[in-house]
Amino acid sequence: MVASFIFLSAILVADFALAKDISNKDYGDAIVGASIADARTLVPILASDGASSEICGMIFNGLVKYDKDINLVGDLADSWEITNDGLVIIFHLRKNVRWHDGFPFTARDVEFTFQKLIDPNVKTPYSGDFERVKSLEVVDDYILKVTYKEPFVPALSSWGMAIIPKHLLEKEDLNTTKFSRHPIGTGPYKFKSWKTQEKIELEANPDYFEHKPFIGRYISRVIPDESTIFLELQTQGVDSSGISPLQYTRQTDTPFFKKHYRKFRLPSFSYLYLGYNLRDAKFSDKRVRQALNYAVDKDEIIKIVLLGLGKVATGPYLPGTFAYNESVLPASFNPDRARELLKEAGWIDLNNDGWLEKDGKRFEFTILTNQGNEERLKVAQIIQRRLKEVGIKVNVRVVEWSVFLTEFIEKRKFETVLLGWSLPREPDNYDIWHSSKTGEGQFNFVGYKNAEIDDLLTQGRRTFDQEKRKVFYQKAHEILYDDQPYMFIYVPDGLSILHNRFEGIVPAPIGIGYNFIDWWVPKAKQKYK
């Protein structure tokens, strides 16, 4: 959960004090975070769950990373050149980097990581991006030449993948290695201990190539119950945690919390949508989809479900990034316009029973969503009520997650689904919108097909020049909002709380965690040894 706020990005809205520029910061103390799930493995190329990725992010580095303004910058790589029209990337690596055991880091480690990523016997889910690599050549210890089969822009960000040490893993089976519970990396924190389902403890790496982190220990406690986490906050047993809208607005609005904690509110990297099954005749007419969008009041949903802590979504791009088109404005709530559009599309209430009909059939559909998500259930109910007002009967059905995936999404047996997508920093969303991705197990499960979008997304992943690339994605954003293959609902705010003894936090578009190694606690306020 520490990660869910530290690494979430965007603009800080809440109360915070700007860090003073103090050169004599104190070392020491620890930060205690709470995570609802334990990590599974600390072999970063196998880790796919949030808890594991968070810890791996502190221990390992990739070749590149995102800076505070969500631009790719070097991490283990000092610099890189892209040549041959984007077919070749040459990385120049940092020379002063050592693994936590003192062994020097070289291009051989990158080569080794790459070989493991494309090894069919390694249980990594991340091979996709790396199978596009035609060859990877170690020029010398610090220069690496990667050649691609075709130009692929997301390739660069894929090198944010954590690099693992060749000298320790060469003879190991990555799927079962003990390294997964005793990792050695190059990152700002060194692994110290892991008590299963209890806590993982890291300590500052004094030889970190940027500089030694000021906070001495990083402790991630596993507390599966959110109400327990909140009780822990009330005794200052936990320093940082994500919180719910209710906790943010009401339960932490007390003198105690104001005295000891700071709250942060940052747009999260995700959005909620209602996806239409476009194979269904009801939804194949664009006017119908637009009508539904007019008929549902998104501001009302945000006010009720998120207590106002969110923003109306207008498309599948991260607000504030180059791909996001600011000129796409959310449609206003306009039931009359919705009725008009529905009438144009042939949906009329002929028998005056309050429901629209066409070809003798009533306009009725089911919103399917997954169990265990109260917010989604509330959203579905609000949509149900608003659509009733324009004469559409909506049923809400909640299904357990695994059944939801295998029986409904995979088999395309749904009318509409209420789901969320994450919004990655890299805007390429070819897999979700391209018409070639509607097949079995693929992610364009709504069956959206639009030649113009296909073309824009193909160009977008081939063009390295960000100014040109921007044009493709902003255009795609505009078309997708007009076409309404999804009803885009909201981008919720990521809400979090942090103990106020920590200083040096400078919020930026990427969030607050990007400069974690510069956070510090004045000696007098330090709580842990």
Partner 1 sequence: MITYIFRRLFGLLPMLFGITLISFMVIKLAPGKPVMLQYSLNPKISLDEIKRLEKIEGFDKPLYVQYFNWLGNLSRFNFGRSISDGRFVMDKIVERLPVTLSINILSLFLIFLIAVPWGVRSALKQGSTFDRVSTLVMFLLFAAPTFWLALLLMQLFCIQFGWLPISGITALDFEHFNWWQKVFDIGRHLFLPVLVSALAGFAGICRYMRSNMIEALQQPYIYTARAKGLSENKIIYKHALRNALLPIVTILGLSLPGLLGGSIIFESIFAIPGIGRLFYEAAMMRDINLIMAEIILVAVLTMLGNLIADVLYAYVDPRIRYKK
Residues engaged in binding partner 1 (CB under 8 A): 30, 32, 40-41, 46, 48-49, 120-121, 123, 125-129, 175-176, 180-181, 195-199, 219, 221-225, 227-228, 231-232, 234-235, 237, 401-403, 405-407, 409, 419, 421, 429, 431-432, 440-443, 528-529
> Least separation, in Å, of the C-beta of 162 and partner 1?
15
> Least separation, in Å, of the C-beta of 427 and partner 1?
12
Q: Which is nearer to partner 1, 153 or 356 (CB)?
A: 153
Per-residue b or e along 102-140, where b marks 16 or more CB atoms closer than 10 Å to that residue's CB? eeebbbbbbbbbbebbeeeebebebeeebeebeebeeee
Q: Which is nearer to partner 1, 137 or 410 (CB)?
A: 410
> Least separation, in Å, of the C-beta of 128 and partner 1?
5
Q: Name residue 365's amino acid.
A: F
Strand partners, 95: none
Q: Which is nearer to partner 1, 72 or 292 (CB)?
A: 72
Residues 6+ apart with CB under 8 A from 303: none
What does the DSSP assignment read for 454-477? HHHHHHHTT---HHHHHHHHHHHH
Q: Which is nearer to partner 1, 79 or 254 (CB)?
A: 254
> Which pair of structure tokens corresponds to residue 128?
């996709």
Separation of alpha carbons 337 and 343, rounded Å: 10
Residue 263 burial (CB < 10 Å; 0-12/13-18/19+)?
buried
HEC-encoded secondary structure of 146-173: EEECCCCCHHHHHCCCCCCCHHHHCCCC
Which among 154, 183, 223, 199 has a CA at the least distance from the CA of 58?
A: 183
> Least separation, in Å, of the C-beta of 84 and partner 1?
26
Q: Which is nearer to partner 1, 248 or 430 (CB)?
A: 430
> Least separation, in Å, of the C-beta of 29 and partner 1?
12
Separation of alpha carbons 195 and 190, rounded Å: 16
Rg (CA), the chain: 25
> Least separation, in Å, of the C-beta of 270 and partner 1?
12
> Least separation, in Å, of the C-beta of 198 and partner 1?
5
Which among 3, 499, 500 has a CA at the least distance from the CA of 202?
A: 3
Torsion of CA 139, 145, 149, 151, to 10 degrees: -160
Q: Which is nearer to partner 1, 121 or 352 (CB)?
A: 121
Q: Which is nearer to partner 1, 93 or 379 (CB)?
A: 379
Residues 6+ apart with CB under 8 A from 191: 42, 59, 100, 182, 183, 184, 185, 202
Which among 90, 109, 154 has a CA at the least distance from the CA of 128?
A: 154
- Other C-beta atoms lying within 10 Å of the C-beta of residue 147: 15
> Least separation, in Å, of the C-beta of 43 and partner 1?
9
> Least separation, in Å, of the C-beta of 131 and partner 1?
9
> Least separation, in Å, of the C-beta of 329 and partner 1?
27
Q: Which is nearer to partner 1, 69 or 431 (CB)?
A: 431
Separation of alpha carbons 60 and 188, rounded Å: 8
Separation of alpha carbons 383 and 96, rounded Å: 57
Separation of alpha carbons 286 and 308, rounded Å: 30
Q: Which is nearer to partner 1, 332 or 442 (CB)?
A: 442
> Least separation, in Å, of the C-beta of 22 and partner 1?
27
Q: Which is nearer to partner 1, 83 or 442 (CB)?
A: 442
For residue 77, give the 3-state DSSP assignment. Answer: strand
Q: Which is nearer to partner 1, 126 or 464 (CB)?
A: 126
Q: Which is nearer to partner 1, 492 or 507 (CB)?
A: 492
> Least separation, in Å, of the C-beta of 124 and partner 1?
8
